Chain A
Amino acid sequence: MFDLLERVLKKTDCFTEIRYHNRELNSISVRKGELEESSSSIYGGVGIRVLIKGSWGFSSTNRLTENDIYKTFKEAKIAAEISSKNKKVKVKGLSETTMAVGEFEPEINDSLKNHSLDEKLSLVLKTEKLMRASSPLIQSAFCRYNEIIDEKYIVTSDGARCHILDMKPEFRLMAVAVREVDMTSAFKAIGVTGGWEDIFGKKKPEELAESTAKIAIDLLDAKYPIGERLTVILDPSLVGILSHEAIGHTVEADFVLAGSISQGKIGKKVASELITLVDSGPSQIKKHAGGELLVDDEGVPTKKTIIIKDGILMSYLHNRETSKIFDVEPTGNARAFEYSDEPLIRMRNTYIEPGNHELGDMISEIKKGYLLKGPMSGQADANAEFMFGVQEAYEINNGKLGRLLKGATISGQAFDVLNSVDSVSKDFEWDLGSGYCGKKQYAKVDAGGPYLRCKLIIGGKQER
């Protein structure tokens, strides 16, 4: 493949980035005993991006002959040339950096390819059935296994020459419990970068099925919280979603240039000094983060990018174009979902570093508050205001964990919330590895962190 791509690259006369990306995608889902999806797909092709007189042109093809790939280059070149006559604000150039050369593969234990599609199908059928069999209260259940197996070759006219292999399996479960007129549901999802052992080694499907069903049943008896501002402890998954959605997007350099709330804040204190927030390509602290990315889609090796260090805003997330504007090193955040997508600034694995508090102490010091677990749907704006649903809210009264409540939401301004943090636990989990982030195209991301104690607004509803 290098030979083919380089033969085309030799014929080019401008900045050219050629990316071959082949993706195998297998998805199986079962709802209430019925197969909803059993599909196996292969999408491969070449995406070519060129930069001419300050304008980008992009073109892609699934046809892999030298002639077709060269035609695609010419299409991209025409697009860039035509654009350059009409684009007002020109691309200033691309920052110089050491481009990726060589072979890149994350740690994979027991390749997904060692396991047949039959085996994956029976696992999903079995797990879904287990949830329904666990109690007569579980009236419906859903289980889905999805795997993405990627191979990429990236060559650029300024020196990138890399071959990248990757595997990302995901497993999700949902259980619906019904008693008379009450209906509740519970979700669990896991996702990693790695193999079969890496996803199912620690978290066994049968245990996940059991715990998902149990939460759905427990929620049947749960009451709703009353809305108020108070002290809460966020679990690693909520810390992750807060870091990604409410902080991370505001530091993506394209959003910064468009006027996000983080514009002009580098070097300023934006959070409690207990907070160090990172977006990293390679997994940190624990292995197999679901958004692991060793080289980005511009051919830049990724690294650990410290966004906030001890409360001070240190860096934005960049591609080569924005790092030139800000005169910094690119951070390896340029990502494209498929071969037919051009790279955009996206997060990878976003987290808050663990501190030195014990979770038990953090709970026992709270007079009245909540321990919150598991994000549900929500939203965040460019001004860092957010609202997320929470699956499980446990009351804390006089330092003791109490009842489970349902239907809680959390909201606030993310930087205010991070300013209110007064303790950070020693723990660390990646917990959004089954997640996708949407911004014109999808990206596989992960997020996580320790437990954080902070102040925010809990929403619920009044009992009728």
Chain B
Amino acid sequence: MELLPICDKVLEKAIDIGGDEVEIYSSSIKRIEVFFEKNDLQIARSQIEDGFGVRIFKNKGLGFSSVNSFEEEKITEAIENCYILAKSSPKDEFNQLPKPQKITEVKGIYDPYSKSFDTSKALESGLMLVNSAKNFDSRVTVDSASFEAIIGSRAIINSNGIRIQEPSSLFNYYIMGMAVDGEEVSSFDYQFDGKRFINEIDVKTVALEFAKNVIGSLGAERGESFVGNVILSPNSVFELLIPSLLFSINANNVQKNMSKLSGKIGERVASSLLTITDNGTLQHGLGSSSFDREGIPHKPISIIEKGKLISFMYNTYTANKEGRLSTGHASGGARTVPGIGPTNFIIKSGNVNYEDMISNIDRGIIVTRFSGNTNPVSGDFSGVVKGGYLIKNGKIIKPIIETLIAGNIFEALPKICAISKETKWVYSINLPYIAIEDVHITSG
């Protein structure tokens, strides 16, 4: 759908009514989903949704309105409401829209063949996802699974001259469940992935990893209580470390003094083994696009370099507060004002093989999944190890259950003692295995 001419019309109306600065974000998508529950197909569904979100600044006051319709009457109503809010909102000198920057097209985020992707193709992939897991071992039970295709286009224009549109395609899938062997029920496991192109879709890998994990955790016994090394799998790094890291490098949380990393730019915050970057320009990346929610191009940025904190992630508002430029991390869609979020977030691989990481540990555990609470403000975490394994003298001894780990993420970052060569994309986040020293491990 050609969105820019509609955006032009909305922008013109918003300026006419009295807006000082105006931004229109518009999207049009088709979504197809097949959803499975209890090993069976539950429902197939599809959705068409178009709409736009308009941001108006009046005397530096903010108004936002969104509407999922391009009907004349609805556009007018949305703009009127938006203007009323902007006019009455308190003045905030940092309310200023960005200026246009040169946009370089990021390749590989739209598959032209996706236009003909339909419900029967989604069902085919969904069935393969569920059946691959079931066929691996009859003890595998799929609690729920889904395959979803999202095909569409988004556009952004503002009164400073930003005016751009881009199509994209995305295929997401997940599977979750457990293994049941007589009376025994294994740990729960959850695997997911996504692809940009039809010919990249690989539901089998996700299904098999899920099936292997749940079968492997059968026969688990109670572990031991000790202080030792923990190897986090890419999935458990995603569950345990990533939420608090993303929260604390979000400039909005930094400026509101809610981030443990506030005021620490240039300081050592982690082991020198740790390097983190974010790059929204990777071809075929799930977090890639040619521009962010405000029309700013993404660029690779360094977040942590050999343990030293280099940069936070900014949108235009938080950048204005510090008199700098946005890092291109404005996130969100037509329904909300721009927030801040990562694109393709990458923890750099290390220099040891996963096998060697295990053999270097005298006493420790492997955590395949973590289920618990992390407090992103304080960094405190505590929770249950799912799909855990006990390591002694460099060897995996047995799968373990009822094992708890607790600690603080910001205290754990300096205690990273090994990072694997192997990495895995957990959706748009690329993660290695990470070993951390001195973790409190409690057997229930």
Contact = CB atoms under 8 A, between A and B. Distances in A.
Interface of A: 26, 28, 33-35, 37-45, 55-64, 68, 72, 75-76, 78-80, 82-83, 86-89, 116-118, 121-122, 125, 258, 340, 342
Contacts of A75: 46, 119
Interface stretch (B66-74, B382-390, B423-431): B66-74
B251 to A, nearest CB: 15
A61 B90 contact: no
B84 interface: yes
Give the top 8 A-B pairs by smallest Cβ distance, nearest first: A79-B44, A40-B81, A58-B45, A39-B64, A38-B85, A62-B68, A41-B66, A118-B88
B31 to A, nearest CB: 9
A117 B90 CA distance: 14
Given A116-B84, A117-B85, A57 B45 contact: yes
Contacts of A87: 40-41
A438 to B, nearest CB: 15
Contacts of B67: 41-43
A37 B337 CA distance: 8
B50 to A, nearest CB: 6
B27 to A, nearest CB: 11
A82 B62 CA distance: 48
B62 A79 contact: no
Contacts of A57: 43-45
B277 interface: no
A38 B81 CA distance: 10
Contacts of A41: 65-67, 78, 335
Contacts of B341: none
A380 to B, nearest CB: 16
Given A37-B337, A44-B68, A117-B81, A78 B119 contact: yes
Interface in B123-149: 123, 127
Contacts of B44: 56-58, 79-80, 82-83
Given A38-B85, A40-B82, A62 B69 contact: yes
Q: How large is the interface on B (under 10, 10 to 19, 20 to 34, 35 or more residues)?
A: 35 or more
B285 to A, nearest CB: 27
B43 A83 contact: yes
Given A43-B68, A58-B46, A75-B119, 14 more contacts: A35-B89, A40-B78, A45-B68, A57-B43, A57-B45, A59-B47, A60-B46, A63-B48, A82-B119, A83-B41, A88-B39, A88-B40, A89-B40, A117-B88
Contact of B78 (A42, A63, A258): A42
A319 to B, nearest CB: 13
Nearest to B31: A340
Contacts of B90: 33-35, 125
Contacts of B120: 78, 82
B99 interface: no
B89 A38 contact: yes
Nearest to B336: A39
Interface of B: 34, 38-51, 61-69, 71, 74, 77-78, 81-82, 84-90, 92, 118-120, 123, 127, 335-337
A72 B66 contact: no
22 contacts: A35-B92, A38-B62, A39-B85, A39-B336, A41-B335, A42-B68, A42-B74, A43-B67, A45-B49, A56-B43, A60-B49, A61-B47, A62-B51, A64-B69, A79-B45, A79-B119, A83-B41, A83-B43, A88-B41, A118-B84, A122-B88, A125-B90
A72 B78 contact: no
Contacts of B47: 59-61, 340
B1 to A, nearest CB: 11
Contact of A39 (B42, B65, B87): B65
Contacts of B337: 37, 39
Contacts of B46: 58-60, 75-76, 79
Chain B contact residues: helix, strand, loop or mixed: mixed
A197 to B, nearest CB: 23
A13 B299 CA distance: 53
A211 B400 CA distance: 49
Nearest to B71: A64
Contacts of B42: 56
Given A40-B64, A42-B74, A62 B50 contact: yes
A311 to B, nearest CB: 32
A144 B47 CA distance: 31
A143 B43 CA distance: 40
Contacts of B64: 37-40
Contacts of A72: 48
A425 B185 CA distance: 43
B41 A86 contact: yes
Residue among B68, B81, B87, B118 with max Cβ neighbours from chain A (10 Å): B68
Contact of A63 (B34, B50, B62, B87): B50
A44 B69 CA distance: 8
A258 B67 CA distance: 38
Contacts of A89: 40
Nearest to B126: A86
Contacts of A62: 48-51, 68-69
Contacts of B62: 35, 38
Contacts of A78: 118-120
Contacts of A80: 44
B336 A117 contact: no
A76 B74 CA distance: 27
Residue among A39, A60, A76, A117 with max Cβ neighbours from chain B (10 Å): A39
A65 B432 CA distance: 51
B65 A340 contact: no
A365 B82 CA distance: 57
A60 B61 CA distance: 36
A121 B89 contact: yes
Contacts of B85: 28, 38-40, 117, 121
Residue among A34, A78, A79 with max Cβ neighbours from chain B (10 Å): A79
B40 A340 contact: no
Contacts of B81: 26, 40, 117
B249 to A, nearest CB: 20
Nearest to A85: B123
Contacts of A56: 42-44
A340 B49 contact: yes
Given A38-B62, A42-B77, A117-B81, A342 B43 contact: yes
